[in-house]
Each structure stands twice: as structure tokens, then as C-alpha cells.
A and B are shown apart, each in its own frame.
Chain A
Amino acid sequence: AQSVTQLGSHVSVSEGALVLLRCNYSSSVPPYLFWYVQYPNQGLQLLLKYTSAATLVKGINGFEAEFKKSETSFHLTKPSAHMSDAAEYFCAVSASSNTGKLIFGQGTTLQVKP
């Protein structure tokens, strides 16, 4: 069975600082991995996804994530945080490439301080 663990339910950074949101997955088959962002009172928006091509994936808004099979990790990073990055971030793994079913982590709330 697939599962996702996001380390840290809340992360606080200063504007301009590095953003690092951690995600570890468990999967018995090669996974598809996703990061979604949810702004207050809105739905989820896809940031980026890993689909077994390049291990370093670039997404929208300057975010990127690196797939590390040896560490079963897919951490999300951004070199310089902006106030508008404050949101909740969800890591997700696909249960199977044939079903479309996503398993979500519990989410990490990113706070950006001025």
C-alpha cells in the first residue's frame, strides 16, 4: 500500500529565506508523486509532479522538488520565500498508474514572516 508522510505540520520562514517542505513516501511500485498547494478558502492547485522522467522537477511559482529513491523522499524547495507563498502544501502519491487514486499527506502549513 502507498502512503505519504509530511514532516512538520507547520513551517515558518522569513521572506527571502529558503523554503523546505519535507515529504517521504512508501510505495511498492514506482510511484507518481505530486505537490499541491491550497491557498486559504480555495481548492487544491497542482504545483508539480514526478512521473519517472527527470528526478528534479520544476513547478510553478519557483518551486521544485527532487525525487530521491534511496531516501524515498520528494521534498519541496524554493530558494527565496515570498509572502504570497503562505499556504498549505500537500504531498501526494499515486496508488497506481492505472487508477488515478491519490493518497495525500496531512499537509504542511507554510507561514512567511516579513
Chain B
Amino acid sequence: DAGVIQSPRHEVTEMGQEVTLRCKPISGHDYLFWYRQTMMRGLELLIYFNNNVPIDDSGMPEDRFSAKMPNASFSTLKIQPSEPRDSAVYFCASSLRLGSSGNTIYFGEGSWLTVV
């Protein structure tokens, strides 16, 4: 399998611009997660979906952030307008329907966002 695929890998944008991060989960996985990683706060769960439905978005920092999952193979995380403090690595991850083996989450390689 190709794994979780994210794009872009790196993006530099100016403050106020819209940023869209994209993710393709592993085929067959029912759960999709968006995490943010910063030096100050470590790894934070922003939102996760189950069968394309947002389950928990309590980690989304503010209304400037939105996430969608229009189908089982695609999700977006959008920041509008972007601010310098949004600079971080954004990870998408996915996992299978859960069973007794535990819920291994597979991560993409991340999108490195810099807002100047």
C-alpha cells in the first residue's frame, strides 16, 4: 500500500492567504486524523473523522481552521486567513476499523507550513 499521502510537503505563504492541505488515507481505513506539531505544544489532535463524518473537532484552534472529508479517499484542512502562528507541521493519519488488536494509526510524512 502507498501509505497516507499528504500534499504539499512544504508550503510557504504570506499572512492572510488561504492554505489548503490535502490528504489521501490508506485505502479501507475508516478513521482519518489531522494532527499539528509545533515545538511549543508538541503533537496535537485537531480533528478526526469516522466514515467521512467529523467526530471530534475540539482540537481545532479557531474558526479560521476547517476540515472536510468529502469521500473516503480524500480530506482537506483549510486555514483562512493564515497567520504566522499557524506555522507548524500538519500530519494526516488514518487507521482501520477498530478491533481487539488495537488502533494503530498510520501517519503521512507531514505538510511543513510556514506563514510569513
Q: Which A positions have Cβ atoms within 8 angstroms of B? A: 32, 34, 36, 41-46, 49-51, 90, 94, 97-107
Contact = CB atoms under 8 A, between A and B. Distances in A.
Interface of B: 4, 31, 33, 42-43, 45, 48, 50, 55-56, 91, 93, 95, 98, 100-110, 112
A92 B101 CA distance: 16
Given A43-B91, A97-B98, A101-B56, A32 B103 contact: yes
B101 A51 contact: yes
A100 B112 CA distance: 24
Nearest to B10: A41
B95 A100 contact: yes
A46 B106 CA distance: 7
B102 to A, nearest CB: 4
Contact of A49 (B42, B104, B109, B112): B104
Contacts of A103: 45
Closest 4 CB pairs of A and B: A51-B102, A43-B109, A104-B43, A100-B103
B109 to A, nearest CB: 4
A94 B43 contact: no
27 contacts: A32-B103, A41-B112, A42-B110, A43-B108, A43-B109, A44-B107, A46-B104, A46-B105, A49-B104, A50-B102, A51-B100, A51-B102, A94-B102, A97-B103, A99-B55, A99-B103, A100-B95, A100-B105, A101-B33, A101-B45, A101-B56, A102-B33, A102-B45, A103-B45, A104-B42, A105-B42, A106-B42
A94 B110 contact: no
B48 A100 contact: yes
B48 A44 contact: no
Given A43-B107, A46-B104, A100-B33, 19 more contacts: A34-B105, A36-B107, A42-B109, A43-B91, A43-B110, A44-B91, A44-B107, A45-B107, A46-B105, A49-B104, A50-B102, A51-B100, A90-B43, A94-B103, A97-B102, A98-B98, A100-B31, A100-B50, A107-B42
